[in-house]
Amino acid sequence: MTRFLVRRLLTAVLTLFAVSVLSFLMFFGLPRDPVSGMCPKNCNAERLERVREELGLRDPLPEQYANYMKGIVTGRDLGSSQGGRCDAPCLGYSYVNSEAVTDTMARVLPVTLSIVIPAAVLWLVLGVGLGMISALRRGTVLDRVAIGFSLAGASMQLYFVGAVLLLVFTYNLRITPTPGYTSIFDNPVKWASGLVLAWVSLAFLFSAIYARLSRAQMLETLSEDFVRTARAKGLAKPTVYGRHALRAAITPVVTIAGLDVGSALGGTVITETTFGIQGLGRTAVDAVKAGDLPTIMATVLISAVFIVVANIVVDLLYAAIDPRVRLR
């Protein structure tokens, strides 16, 4: 296990290093002036020159990259006009938002986490549950209902489902408040009520995929020899289906779930835009529109971290779920 973790952590560091180099070269290495896009429209020539000096754009490109990464690890001095010292991890300064990028990320990351994590729990429980029931009741009414649910979810788009939920539950029935974010530590009830429609939208669409995948995997596993042996031994159905069959069938589901959750944590752009919530995804889109390169760079790195971590967690879960898998 220790060797596996060390190897995966080294791979993760190399992956993040490659992502940081490529994104930095793409944003700051092209033959153009990045300052003219990221500085507000009221910037005069003097301020543009000061921004170039503060970003170190006069330095060689390798030195610029080294200074940027050093700022993430040790912090950096943004100057008195930008708030002084920026402690690690410092992701630079946004001249568009007039604040440290770290402050922006600290504000929007909890929003995205609050959307994705509860929604992921819902879509996994609902999707895997439906898939298992459908496989165990193959050919019955429950199976047909589950298949119909899966087809409906797979055929719809999130912005359509979100708009319907808003129209019905917020504007017509007035059961839920207008979507918004409140910290769970300030008011848990308001936190949940403001995000419940986003959770339901994501859970409905994603659970459809997981229901179909779980059903297919469960049907395949039920025909395996070890399941027939467990039945022949007279084991109880919950033991056969839950302890033996489900654990073997759920491995591909865990793989897809890790990728989906990691990608979603990198920014649920459509969800945040549909419900008017400012999270990481919507912040990234706004940064692209405004040419805010420090913020774009930060969102790329944070998204990469989420995906890398999600893959490591998936690999660790393999051995816990399926005893046939051994970490090497």
* CATH code, domain carrying 164: 1.10.3720.10
pLDDT, residue 121, reads 94
Number of domains the chain is built from? 2
pLDDT, residue 245, reads 84
- The Cα 294–Cα 35 span in angstroms is 11
pTM: 0.87
Q: What is the average pLDDT score of the chain?
A: 86
Residue 5 lies in a domain: no
pLDDT, residue 280, reads 92
pLDDT, residue 231, reads 85
Residue 178 lies in a domain: yes
| Closest to 166 (Cα-Cα) out of 274, 270, 277 | 274
pLDDT, residue 223, reads 86
**Do 150 and 65 share a domain, yes or no?**
no
Question: Is 92 within 8 Å of 101 (Cβ atoms)?
Answer: yes
pLDDT, residue 42, reads 63
Question: Is 283 within 8 Å of 294 (Cβ atoms)?
Answer: no
**Do 265 and 300 share a domain, yes or no?**
yes
Q: What is the rounded average pLDDT of the residues 264-278?
A: 87
pLDDT, residue 48, reads 77
- The Cα 328–Cα 323 span in angstroms is 14
**Count of alpha carbons within 13 Å of 42, Cβ hemisphere only?**
2
Ordered alpha helix ranges (H), 223-328: 225-232, 237-238, 246-249, 251-265, 269-275, 280-290, 293-321
What is the pLDDT confidence band of residue 188, given thresholds at 50, 70 and 90?
Answer: very high
Summarised one tens digit per residue, pLDDT across range 79-92 is 655 666 788 888 88
- The Cα 88–Cα 321 span in angstroms is 37
Check pLDDT > 80 for residue 162.
yes
Check pLDDT > 90 for residue 199.
yes
Residue 172 lies in a domain: yes
Question: Is 279 within 8 Å of 272 (Cβ atoms)?
Answer: yes
